[in-house]
Amino acid sequence: MIFTVAIDGPAAAGKGTISRAVAERFGFRHLDTGLLYRAVGVKGGDPVAAARGLTADDMNRPGLRTLEAGQAASRVAAIPEVRAALVEFQRRFARSEGGAVLDGRDIGTVICPEAEVKLYVTASAQVRAHRRWLEVGGDEAQVLAEVRERDARDMGRADAPLKAAEDAVVIDTSDLGIDAAVDAACAIVAARLRG
């Protein structure tokens, strides 16, 4: 069975947590596409060459979940040649046998516009910054500023800007707990699987 769940949204909205839970519940493979961009950003050197030569080992580097790696990912993701180098990898993963969940910023709009399920997971900038601050610490006001800066860059880039696909179901996690958000996503997937 080929069945793709595309989950997009801004940083710290909960899409990674939801994606992993959906994949686990339905026995699908999971790809955090942001890790691809984080690995390219952290690798250093020429980002296009880094994207073309990305290996599984690069995905397991320490420090890929830091704020700095996230900022680096956002910068390299704005480079069209980097995006092009990673698109085919993501598409092959998405349409492989057995079902797949991909989370990122342009899965439903660019990578897998044919996905059987498209979700857009979001939350207010303040809620997302607070969540990120709980993870990484530091100055909460600075984390909020970085979240807003990243949103502006991700939503404003010319190539594949962050936005909800026209046919995506929006899940706002601002006032939802993890279990409720996961249940909402799983209900949508289950309904689509039933046809």
State the CB neighbour count (10 A cutoff) for residue 148. Answer: 14
Check whether 63 is labelled as a binding-site residue: no
Q: pLDDT tens digits for 11-45?
A: 899 999 999 999 999 999 999 888 999 999 999 89
Check whether 177 is labelled as a binding-site residue: no
Q: pLDDT tens digits for 129-155?
A: 999 999 889 999 999 999 999 999 889
Check whether 78 is labelled as a binding-site residue: no
Check whether 125 is labelled as a binding-site residue: no
CA atoms within 13 A on the CB side of 22: 34
> Strand pairing of 169-172 and 100-104?
unpaired
Check whether 45 is labelled as a binding-site residue: no
Kindly indicate the confidence band of residue 126, based on its pLDDT and cuts at 50, 70 and 90. very high
Provide the residue ranges of all domains of the chain, joining segments of one domain with +: 4-194
Check whether 163 is labelled as a binding-site residue: no
Check whether 12 is labelled as a binding-site residue: yes
Q: pLDDT tens digits for 70-117?
A: 889 989 988 999 989 999 889 988 998 999 999 999 999 999 999 999
From residue 98, give the alpha-carbon distance in Å to each of 44, 91, 166, 189: 34, 14, 26, 14
Helices (H), 5-77: 15-26, 33-43, 47-52, 56-59, 67-77
Cβ pair 103, 7 in contact under 8 A: yes
CATH superfamily label, 4-194: P-loop containing nucleotide triphosphate hydrolases (3.40.50.300)
Check whether 16 is labelled as a binding-site residue: yes
Instruction: For residue 158, count CB atoms less than 10 angstroms from its CB and return exposed for 0-12, middle for 13-18, buried for 19 or more.
Output: exposed
Q: What was the pLDDT predicted at 107?
A: 96
Check whether 17 is labelled as a binding-site residue: yes
